[in-house]
Structure 1
Amino acid sequence: MPPKKGTPNRRGVARREQILDAAVELFARQGYRGTGLLELAERIGISHPGILHHFATKQDLLRAVLDRRDQFVDRVTRDFAGEGTFGLQNSQDPAEPEIVTRLMTVLRAENLDPEDPLHDYFDERDRQTRDLIADEIRRGQQRGEIRSDVDPDTKAAEILALTIGLDTQWLLNPTQIDRAKIYHSYLRTLRDDLTRPDAPRRPTDDP
């Protein structure tokens, strides 16, 4: 039985995912501005109209790439909801794949000017991340786990800045920068800095 009109078939879905995967790779290596749809089509062995069948413009393709990444981040965030300010300390590594980390770092660097097309996107996502971290700190303060003299908004900005900077350092020199080790070392130091000496420790806290 043929699929209903407007319902993507399996082949169409697979092709769309193939285009997105190739776009992530090229945008991450060459930047959005340095990548053309013709080059993308040649990379995966389809025609230029084949790309346009799924994505009418390069900007539509970029938006789909970002939407897929945002869904991943939101899923990870939900997985650690309720784990507290230091819940991510119990994960093994920063969760995002290397190519996606490279993609977001390159796109961020391309969109620092307020007039750039993705400036507002990064500004808003950063604000959401800072708010999420700050809210976790406030909840920790309400539970009596975090010092009351800590400014949640300032500390949230510091944590986000460390994360972005660490990603950049790691991408520049992955053989010298052990991202996971530094990441977890920072979280342990952060915990010691923020928590009250008499605060109760969770069972998953490191000694």
Structure 2
Amino acid sequence: MARPRRGHELAAETVIDAAAEVFAANGFSASTLDQVAERLGVTRQSVLGRFPSKRDLFRAVLDRDRHWADQMLIAAASIDDASPFASLIRFLGLGEEGRARIRLQHVLQGEAIAGDADTRAFILERNRVIHDQIFQRAQRADALGILAPGWTVASSATAIMALINGLQTLILLDPDAPVKDAFDRAMAGFILKGEEE
């Protein structure tokens, strides 16, 4: 990350970038404005000049992440009928930026479970958005008559959501884990196969 030169006003986005890295490394509770300032090479007062509190800065990080997640969404009209679940791979965080985003999400999940209101609201909203994307695809597969036997729209959406969450954890712990192959094989299992020739 490019450090701002001393004596120049910090851009809000620069502060948000640094804060996102600090929050992803430490969570909200254990992070401090001093750590954000140190990452930027400025004083705590400089950070406070942009954001009046750690909570305000945290909300700005979450707002930016929501915007990024919104850009990831695919309209229901563009779902591939031949493989309706394939595009969900974008939620695995296979690229460097994606991993940074899901790292923040996974670190905050623990704090959400522990009861922090802002992180809980963020995680619940993020999960709802991803679940809606999966549910749309399960509905489409069901409407086409290709949802594998034994799966309902609701049960397949829940199972795929859990699978994505687990694969995200694996890739955060080991970027070389073969999650793409596991994802592809699992998604194929939700689709009714044609008759053997």
The TM-score, its normalising length taken from structure 1, stands at 0.74
After TM superposition, the structure 1 = structure 2 runs for residues 146-157 of structure 1, keeping only pairs within 5 Å, are: 146-147=147-148, 149-157=150-158
Consecutive aligned runs of 4 or more in structure 1 exceeding 4 Å deviation: 89-93
Matched positions, count = 183
The CA deviation string for residues 119-167 of structure 1, in whole angstroms up to 9 with x for no partner, is: 1321232123212211211112212332475211221111111222222
Match of 2:11 in 1: 15
Match of 1:86 in 2: 85
The reply to whether residue 47 of structure 1 matches residue 43 of structure 2 is: yes
Q: Determine the C-alpha separation between the residues in 1 that align with 2:116 and 2:88.
A: 37
Match of 1:70 in 2: 66
Q: Percent identity?
A: 27
Confirm or deny: 8 A CA contact 1:130 1:160 kept in the other structure.
yes
SS for the counterpart of 2:113 is coil
State the 1:47 CA deviation: 2.8
State the 1:66 CA deviation: 1.5
Match of 2:4 in 1: none
Match of 2:179 in 1: 182
Q: Determine the C-alpha separation between the residues in 1 that align with 2:93 and 2:75.
A: 14
For 2:68, the aligned partner's letter is: F
Match of 2:172 in 1: 171
Match of 1:28 in 2: 24
Match of 2:105 in 1: 104
Q: Determine the C-alpha separation between the residues in 2 that align with 1:35 and 1:104.
A: 15
Match of 2:5 in 1: none
Which residues of structure 1 form unaligned runs of 5+? 1-10, 200-207
Which residues of structure 2 form unaligned runs of 5+? 1-7
For 2:24, the aligned partner's letter is: A
Confirm or deny: 8 A CA contact 2:112 2:119 kept in the other structure.
yes
